[in-house]
Structure 1
């Protein structure tokens, strides 16, 4: 591979790890870089390699968060179990369902999320324990585990962002705790999808492991910054990533 391509992939992996650790959405950077580097490679192999890269960074960020923030275990672990199954099912369906039909729906949801966050500036800045009713806890498990897990296996980009929004809006976690909790669930979604891609032979292992090291570096920097700077920082990055996700999906839809 050309030195320029290697440099592009390494830079993208570090940046994707940072974004994923703070608010999710690292696929915005990693997937385009892989597509540029491997234009003739089947898309499934690119998606599988992205999952291999991402799971290391997400897992390392989850460990870092766990040392400084207590996640909502009553939601996180049941959701992680469902997310493993949901993402595997989504990955298995990836070839049967046209993502083009889903993009407009996802774009509308993202725009609604952006408006919601802007109009509710207090959301996620402080925790809201009264929202953690039994019904809301079950809803959070189902939405983050099955719903978002399936989305991650099927399409992917923005999964961590959706997880954070769901956890803050449904059960009232602050943004930092939601980000810490989301990393555990996101690790499970990455693993579920990766297993399916690997069984289908759709993973470029050598380049994926190399990029995983870079992804871990970015994830560690991002997790420490989020813990140090707090919920306001996470909220600002979240809004930027949501806007970029809408632009990315719009380009894919109308290109």
Structure 2
């Protein structure tokens, strides 16, 4: 009933903003991840929505875009599914676990750590300009898949718990820890991101946290953005993805850094 009342309070202006945010978020997610940075805060503008409802609705809307992106990337970039699919399976479990804690732990607990991690990610990417330009696979002797699984579990848990920046973290860890280039890392990240969205929704849907009408409308816009973004990224290659990646990381640092500062000032 609360969700229905919340939807009834949505004005045309807010509805248009939600659709635009979903379209842009789908494009960003398809290229380098981080679309939740735009889509989740937009959802928090909906009158009467709770943080958990916003997170759950964001996950369902994002699932449309990430699935579209994953299909497009897989058909055109031909990623190694022997690594991507097991990693996705473990990430799904991690995301389900994170979603179970989403209503219990405040995101503010994790934001300073996330900001620090993003600063490190940006520093590494800038300091090593050839990073991700070619594939040079690591850990071939029996450790490749266990490391991929560990990465999937940790980032999947984060996605279920908080969410924004998941695709960004997936790409940089797949590049640095496993040795793939930006194109192949992005393709794998999209597949894993589908699984993390599904894992979180396995918790959110039965508990009634999804605002269905809003999520489905935003999902269609997110899907369109995902299709356009993935085709552009694949066509333009590693250099374009690297530049877009750094831009999204910079915005994430500023946004989350401001959140941490504002929360400290208010307390």
Alignment of 1:225-236 (within 5 A): 225-236=232-243
**Alignment partner, residue 41 of structure 2:** 32
| SS of aligned partner of 1:209 | helix
Matched, 1:206 2:213: yes
**Alignment partner, residue 116 of structure 1:** 124
Unaligned runs of 5+ in 2: 1-9, 263-267
Task: Answer whether contact 1:132 1:171 (CA < 8 A) is retained.
Answer: no
Task: Answer whether contact 1:18 1:220 (CA < 8 A) is retained.
Answer: yes
Task: Answer whether contact 2:91 2:149 (CA < 8 A) is retained.
Answer: no
Alignment of 1:83-98 (within 5 A): 83-98=91-106
Supply the distance in 2 between the matched residues of 1:160 and 1:179 (Cα, whole angstroms): 8
Per-residue Cα deviation, 1:150-179 (whole angstroms, up to 9, x for no partner): 000011000000000011111111101111
Alignment of 1:1-255 (within 5 A): 1-36=10-45, 38-129=46-137, 132-143=140-151, 145-255=152-262
Supply the distance in 2 between the matched residues of 1:133 and 1:90 (Cα, whole angstroms): 31
Supply the distance in 1 between the matched residues of 2:226 and 2:140 (Cα, whole angstroms): 29
Unaligned runs of 5+ in 1: none
CA gap of 1:2–1:130, structure 2 versus 1, over 3 A, is: closer
| TM score, norm. by length of structure 1 | 0.96
Supply the distance in 2 between the matched residues of 1:133 and 1:48 (Cα, whole angstroms): 39
| SS of aligned partner of 1:230 | helix
| SS of aligned partner of 2:143 | helix
Deviation at 1:131, TM superposition (A): 5.3
Of 59-68 and 129-138, deviating more is 129-138
Task: Answer whether contact 1:164 1:178 (CA < 8 A) is retained.
Answer: yes
Q: CA RMSD in A?
A: 1.2
Task: Answer whether contact 2:138 2:177 (CA < 8 A) is retained.
Answer: no
Of 183-192 and 3-12, deviating more is 3-12
| TM score, norm. by length of structure 2 | 0.92
Task: Answer whether contact 1:76 1:141 (CA < 8 A) is retained.
Answer: no
Deviation at 1:3, TM superposition (A): 2.2
Deviation at 1:133, TM superposition (A): 4.4
The number of aligned residues is: 253
